Structure 1
């Protein structure tokens, strides 16, 4: 069996005991980012399975896009990563207080 040479680990053990491998990551040609795929990618970065640079290059993401996913996930959990929720949460973050 041939194993492709990669940088970094092939698998990591998550804090809850589950094992996450590179096979669990979304396909590199992913064009439609649903909340579950975003969450898996963020988990892979946070656990050290892949680097931020690798994710940006492989998935053709911008640094700002990845940062916004991280910010929304940290503030609102997985629900914040849903496309219909992003508009709602971004509006709440960007709203200025109304003056009396």
Structure 2
């Protein structure tokens, strides 16, 4: 992928401050998504190492799933990607929606 200067992006800073290259990304076909791996994909997309369509195709993700990962990282960092945190946020969101419709 090209950056703003039309140069190919070969590495980005990963979620833990490490250098993240294409070879260090999670393997295609990954089925066990821990928070760190999700954060690496988000960092790769936001840093220009992968485009959104490339990430979705490589990891068989829906656009909605990838966007939810990005939102979780923006809101709560890597910890926002933990399954327990996702469930808590879903429950909080559902409670909020019930209150608004009541």
Which bracket does the TM-score occupy, shorter chain normalised?
0.7 to 0.9
Q: How far apart, CA to CA, are the structure 2 residues paired with 1:68 and 1:12?
A: 23
In the other structure, the counterpart of 2:89 is 89
Matched residue SS, 2:32? coil
CA contact (8 A) 2:73 2:80 kept: yes
2:23 matches 1:11: no
In the other structure, the counterpart of 1:32 is 32
CA contact (8 A) 2:38 2:69 kept: yes
The CA deviation at 1:14 is: 3.2
**Gap regions ≥5 residues in structure 1:** 1-6
Q: Which has the larger radius of gyration?
A: 1
Cα deviations by residue, 1:39-95 (Å, 9 ceiling, x for unpaired): 000000000001000000111000111111111111111111001111002222332
Of 49-58 and 88-97, more deviation after overlay is shown by 88-97
Structure with the largest fraction of helix: 2
Q: How far apart, CA to CA, are the structure 2 residues paired with 1:94 and 1:87?
A: 11
Which runs of structure 1 show a deviation greater than 3 angstroms over 4 or more consecutive aligned residues? Answer: 7-10
RMSD over aligned CA atoms reads: 2.6
The alignment's TM-score, normalised by the length of structure 2, stands at 0.77
Closer/same/farther in 2, CA of residues 74 and 10 from structure 1, 3 Å limit: closer
The CA deviation at 1:37 is: 0.2
